[in-house]
């Protein structure tokens, strides 16, 4: 059976997403221009600060949080643009509903709880719609539950960028004309308190629930529906808590205590409430990393062994191995080890990323040129590490131990045919075979946090809230 390669423009969802991003992105730019035109200095400051914060967010997400899978830049841009355009448009619908609440319930209730009740529902629905469109428009790139969380965080990033700019522009014109200090203080408060643990976290939880419901077809309908409800419910509840009067009550409760500011109570409540969601995302990330690192060996490719997976999957293990190499063989061996690590991660990313609509690896002898190049880089990096670990002045036994532990077995890269003779289907080769490993496995052994770690994590969260709360109170006092 011949299977056609995937094509984004061949799906209606791709064109829908493109239309929404073009129209919504233009509308968001127009709105931001109207808000920022009367306050040019504050606008320049806010745009620069938000660009720096967004860049740091993307670097941390791509380099440390999500190091294995390679996210295409066009899909990342589409997620961020939708979050700042389509999701914002849907979120604006909460205003008329809040007005209706004031008429049906009471004006006092609407003023106190209207933002906490209606805004989370409307905004989370708009953002989750973007994640659903991304899954329909680029299905091969969202093959794991963790992918749904990552693209949900990107949609939330776009939303919070536009929202924070709007608040900063409004604060700059509230008392004085173009008050840069007022805009900077409000922007600093919003970035420090909820830039990563705000909308990105909310939509990441909802996106993970949606991805589980769509991708885990081996599960029962009830468990998939429960995961979807849990993800959306967690996002709405966390968002509602952040908008509710409860956080104000927490701030007033701890403010009279000596050495503690009201910000500490606010931040501690927000961060502790977000902690279970962060733990769930950490477990999903751990499972996705293990699956991605084991995928080349599962498909019959050399380059990564089980021992390599153990080292690569944990940042602390990489640090220990790098330090051991530095002590025994010097800086050159450490640099070669880091190069090998990057080459292995690049191999995993190329294996997971489709090539011209087809899976990058069809069989151990049928894979894309990008995979062949990554395998060559792994072979060259391993050879460089083995050469750097050759005994010069050290004892041969120590060198042999280091070489066996850190370089594993020798890599024999299969001979890849010329591109015009490659059996890859999109270059005129055999048809796409039936595959059973394109979906995420049922489960991967993932370590759960122990009670002692949870206690330490809670203590660290409270301590961080106290430090950050003191910094914000000093900023307000100055």
SS3 track for 408-432: CCCCCCCCCCCHHHCCCHHHCCCCC
**Mean of pLDDT values over 140-147:** 88
Rounded Cα distance between 149 and 142, Å, is: 10
- Residue 357: pLDDT band (50, 70, 90) is confident
Angle between helix 396-407 and helix 315-329 axes, rounded to 10 deg: 150
Which of 210, 205, 214, 268 lies closest to 463 in space, CA to CA?
268
pLDDT of residue 417: 37
pLDDT of residue 359: 76
pLDDT digit string, tens, across residues 396-440: 444 444 444 444 433 333 433 333 334 444 443 433 333 333 344
Using the Cα atoms of residue 227, residue 229, residue 232 and residue 236 in order, give the sign of their dihedral: negative
- Residue 43: pLDDT band (50, 70, 90) is very high
- Residue 78: pLDDT band (50, 70, 90) is very high
pLDDT digit string, tens, across residues 168-224: 988 888 777 788 888 888 888 888 877 778 899 999 999 999 999 999 989 999 999
Rounded Cα distance between 281 and 178, Å, is: 40
Does the pLDDT of residue 441 top 50, yes or no? no
* Per-domain residue ranges of the chain: 8-243, 303-413
pLDDT of residue 2: 44
- Residue 9: pLDDT band (50, 70, 90) is confident
């Amino acid at each position: 059976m011949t299977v056609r390669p995937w094509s984004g423009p061949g799906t209606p969802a791709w064109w829908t997403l493109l239309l929404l991003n073009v129209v919504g992105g233009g509308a968001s730019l127009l709105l931001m221009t109207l808000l920022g035109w009367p306050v040019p200095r504050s606008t320049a400051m806010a745009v620069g600060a938000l660009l720096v914060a967004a860049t740091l967010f993307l670097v941390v997400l791509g380099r440390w949080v999500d190091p294995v899978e390679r996210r295409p830049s066009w899909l990342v841009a589409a997620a961020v643009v939708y979050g700042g355009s389509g999701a914002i448009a849907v979120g604006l619908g909460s205003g008329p509903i809040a007005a209706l609440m004031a008429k049906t319930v009471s004006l006092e209730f609407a003023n106190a709880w209207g933002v906490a009740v209606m805004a989370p529902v409307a905004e989370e629905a708009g953002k989750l719609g973007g994640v659903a469109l991304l899954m329909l428009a680029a299905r091969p790139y969202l093959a794991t539950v963790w992918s749904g969380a990552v693209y949900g965080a990107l949609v939330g990033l776009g939303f919070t960028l536009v929202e924070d700019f709007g608040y900063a522009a409004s604060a700059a014109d509230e008392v004085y004309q173009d008050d840069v200090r007022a805009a900077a203080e409000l922007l600093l408060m919003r970035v420090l308190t909820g830039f990563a643990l705000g909308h990105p976290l909310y939509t990441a939880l909802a996106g993970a629930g949606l991805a589980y419901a769509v991708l885990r077809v081996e599960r029962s309908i009830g468990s998939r529906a429960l995961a979807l409800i849990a993800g959306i419910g967690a996002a709405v509840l966390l968002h509602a808590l952040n908008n509710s009067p409860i956080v104000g009550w927490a701030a007033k409760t701890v403010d009279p205590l000596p050495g503690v500011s009201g910000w500490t109570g606010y931040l501690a409540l927000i961060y502790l409430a977000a902690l279970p969601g962060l733990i769930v995302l950490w477990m999903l990330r751990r499972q996705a990393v293990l699956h991605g690192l084991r995928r080349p060996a599962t498909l019959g490719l050399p380059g990564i062994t089980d021992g390599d997976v153990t080292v690569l999957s944990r940042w602390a293990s990489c640090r220990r191995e790098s330090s051991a190499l530095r002590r025994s063989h010097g800086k050159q061996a450490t640099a070669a080890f880091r190069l090998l690590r990057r080459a292995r991660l690049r191999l995993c990313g190329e294996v997971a990323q489709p090539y011209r609509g087809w899976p990058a690896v069809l069989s151990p002898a049928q894979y894309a040129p990008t995979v062949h190049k990554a395998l060559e880089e792994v072979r060259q990096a391993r050879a460089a590490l083995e050469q750097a670990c050759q005994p010069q002045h050290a004892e041969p036994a120590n060198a042999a131990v280091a070489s066996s532990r850190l370089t594993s077995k020798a890599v024999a890269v299969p001979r890849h045919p010329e591109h015009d003779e490659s059996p890859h289907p999109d270059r005129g080769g055999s048809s796409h075979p039936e595959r059973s490993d394109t979906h995420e496995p049922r489960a991967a052994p993932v370590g759960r946090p122990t009670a002692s770690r949870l206690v330490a994590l809670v203590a660290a969260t409270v301590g961080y809230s106290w430090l950050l709360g003191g910094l914000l109170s000093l900023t307000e006092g100055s």
